[in-house]
Structure 1
Amino acid sequence: MSGSQTSETAATGAPEDGLFITLEGGDGSGKSTQAALLEEWLTGQGRTVVRTREPGGTDAGVEIREIVLHHRGDISPRAEALLYAADRAHHVETVVRPALARGDVVLQDRYLDSSVAYQGAGRVLDADEIRKLSLWAAQGLLPDLTILLDLDETVARARLDTSRTRYDRLEAEKADFHARVRSAYLQLASAEPQRFLVVDAARPADEIATEIQAELGRRIAPTR
C-alpha cells in the first residue's frame, strides 16, 4: 500500500511501497497518545515507522510552528493558511516522500485535513480553496488511512484544562470555533469513507488502540 495521489498530480510519481497514516481530530482528542501506541504496535509487526507531525516535522517546520501557534499578536487567516501550506510542502518533499519510497510507515500527527478543518471551517475561509492549496503543496499526496479521533469539543476542552498551563493560538479559540472544526472533520470523513476511520475518542485509550490496530491488521501484513 502506498500514499495515494489525486488525478491532478498522478504524473509526479507517487511512492509505491510505504504506508502513509495520519491522525486527525480536535485539540485534546488524544492523537499523541494513540500515535505512541500505534507506533509501538507497528514496530511489533516488523515495520519501520517514521513518526512525525505538522507543523514542525522539519527544522524549518519548527520555526513555522512557533509562528502559527505561539506568535504574539494576530496573524491573518490567509497568512496562517499559507504558512501551514509552506510547512507541508517542505515536509512532504524532505520527510514523507523519502520515507514512503524506502517502504517505511509514515505515522503523522495532522495533515491537510487539519487545514481544511481549522483554516477552512474554523477561520471561515473557502474549504475547497484550502484543500486545493494543500494538495498543490503536497503534490497531490493523500494518506492511505486517516484516523479521525472524534470528541465533543466540551469534553476535549476539559481534557486540555487538566493538561495545559498555557494554550496555543488555536487551542485558545472559543467553543464555536472548535465546534466548526469538529463538524468539518466529520463532513470530510463522510465524503471519503474509504480513507477515514472515525473513532469515538471518548472511550479509554486502550479500546481506541485496539480498534485502530484491528483496522490496520486488515490492511497490512507483518513482515516477520
Structure 2
Amino acid sequence: MQRGLFISFEGGEGAGKSTQIRRLAEGLRARGFDVVVTREPGGSPGAEAVRHVLLSGAAEPFGSKMEAVLFAAARSDHVEQVIRPAVERGAVVLSDRFLDSSRVYQGVTGGIDGGFMQALERVAINGMMSDLTLILDLDPAEGLRRAAERRGDETADRFEKETLAIHERRREAFLDIAHLEPERCVVVDAARSEEEVAGRIAAAVDALIEGRQEKEAAE
C-alpha cells in the first residue's frame, strides 16, 4: 500500500484490547506488513510524560476539562510524532485507544460540552482520523473482574476505580458511536473466546486492506 492504515481499538476496561492488538500485529507482520503498535494516553515521549499524570489521578482534582485538555495535548504529540509519520511511510498503525475514548470518558461521563470536545478533537488529531475503529464490547462487570485479575496487587488506575454505573454508561456511549459511524466502527463481542474475537478482528482488517488495495489499483 502506498499510504498506510490507522486502526484504533476501543472499549471498556478489561475488554482485551492489548491481547488482540498483539495477535493482530503478529499476524500482519507475518504477512510482510510494517506494523507500529502504540497506545493512548502515551505512544510518544511527550505523551508518555502526560500518561502518568492522567492515570495516577493527579489531574482529577482540576476537573474533567483539565483532563480533556491534557489528553488532547498528549494526542497531538502522539499523532505528529508517531502516527502520521508511520502512516505516510505505508505502515499499519494499531493504537490501544484514540479519540473515541476521550469522547466517552471525558465527554459523556465527564459531562463536558460537545462543542468543547469537538474543538479539542480538531486541534489534537489535525485530520488524522482512524481508518477503522474496533470496539471490543464487554459487560462492564466482567471487564472490571478481568482488569482486577490482570493487575493483581497493583492499585486500580484513575478510570478503573470508578463505579460500575459509570462503566455501564461508557459501554453505551461506545455503542452509540458505532451506531452513528458504521463506516468506521466495527463492534466485536469481546465475551467470546480469544480465538473467536481475533477471527472477527482479522476479517474486519482484511476487508479494509483489500478495499485499500483495490482503490489504489484503480487509480
**TM-score, length basis structure 2:** 0.90
Say whether residues 1:31 and 2:17 are aligned partners. Answer: yes
User: What are the within-5 Å matches in structure 2 for residues 203-214 of structure 1?
Assistant: 203-214=192-203
5+ unaligned residues in a row in structure 1: which ranges?
A: 2-15
Shift in Å, 1:69: 0.4
Partner of 1:119: 106
User: What are the within-5 Å matches in structure 2 for residues 170-181 of structure 1?
Assistant: 170-181=159-170
* Inter-partner Cα distance in structure 2 for 1:27 and 1:122: 14
Paired AA for residue 51 in structure 1: V
Following TM superposition, where does structure 1 have runs of at least 4 consecutive aligned residues deviating by more than 4 angstroms?
A: none
User: What are the within-5 Å matches in structure 2 for residues 61-210 of structure 1?
Assistant: 61-72=47-58, 74-164=61-151, 165=153, 166-210=155-199
Q: Which has the higher helix share?
A: 2
Partner of 1:21: 7
Paired AA for residue 79 in structure 2: V
Report percent identity of matched pairs: 44
RMSD: 1.7
* Inter-partner Cα distance in structure 1 for 2:187 and 2:107: 20
Partner of 1:45: 31
Is the contact between residue 55 and residue 87 of structure 1 (CA under 8 Å) also seen in structure 2? yes
CA deviations on 1:22-50 (whole Å, 9 max, x unpaired) are 00001110000000001011112211001
5+ unaligned residues in a row in structure 2: which ranges?
A: 214-219
Judging changes above 3 Å, is the alpha-carbon distance between structure 1 residues 131 and 26 closer, same or farther for their aligned structure 2 residues? farther
State the SS of the aligned residue for 1:146: strand
